[in-house]
Amino acid sequence: MRLLIVMLAALAACGGTQSSAAAINPAFAGSWNVNASVTGSAFSPTNKGVISTYSSTLLITPSGASATVAHVCPDGSGTVTVNGTDNGPAGSGQSLSCPALALGNCASVVPTFTLVTVELLADGTLRALAAGVADGCAAVKVPVAVFFSGTRSP
């Protein structure tokens, strides 16, 4: 009995047993119909604000404390892995180069995203961000971002 009390006291002093990382909320799983807004002042005729909008689908597949997010690029290609817990995983340090596209006042822009975040809001909607830099029309490594907002596909 004394040995059991000593063992329990030792566990309590060390913080108990280790637990695995909390998982990403499984409610992220599936296809999401999103509206996307692209910003990048270097490609805007007015040098500010939203320069393009489009509708798309993001496909999210959670697995433990990470998830893959597919269709990140404006043309519908591109997959990244985000890590985190619960309702707000993020991925950084990765580099996702998307195919060239016409953007604002430039006929050929190549975006490269280095940060992707996804967030599940209390009302069940999804909010996401892909941020990085772009090259095109004499602009080199200028900031560009795509903001996504949407609902689960039926």
Give 14-48 pLDDT, tens digit per residue: 444 344 567 888 889 999 999 999 998 888 877 77
The CA distance from 21 to 17, in Å, is 13
Domain ranges, ordered by start, for the chain:
21-152
Tell me, yes or no, if the pTM score tops 0.85: no
Residues in the chain, total: 154
Residue 13: φ, ψ to 5°: -65, -30
Taking residue 148's Cβ as centre, other Cβ atoms within 10 Å add up to 23
By percentage, how much of the chain surpasses pLDDT 90? Answer: 53
pLDDT digits (tens, 9 = 90+) for 39-96: 988 888 777 788 889 999 999 999 988 899 999 999 999 999 988 878 777 776 578 9
Using DSSP bridges, classify how beta strands 101-103 and 106-120 pair: parallel, antiparallel or unpaired: antiparallel
How would CATH label the architecture of 21-152? Beta Barrel (2.40)
DSSP summary character for residue 16: S
Residue 26: φ, ψ to 5°: -65, -15
DSSP summary character for residue 41: G
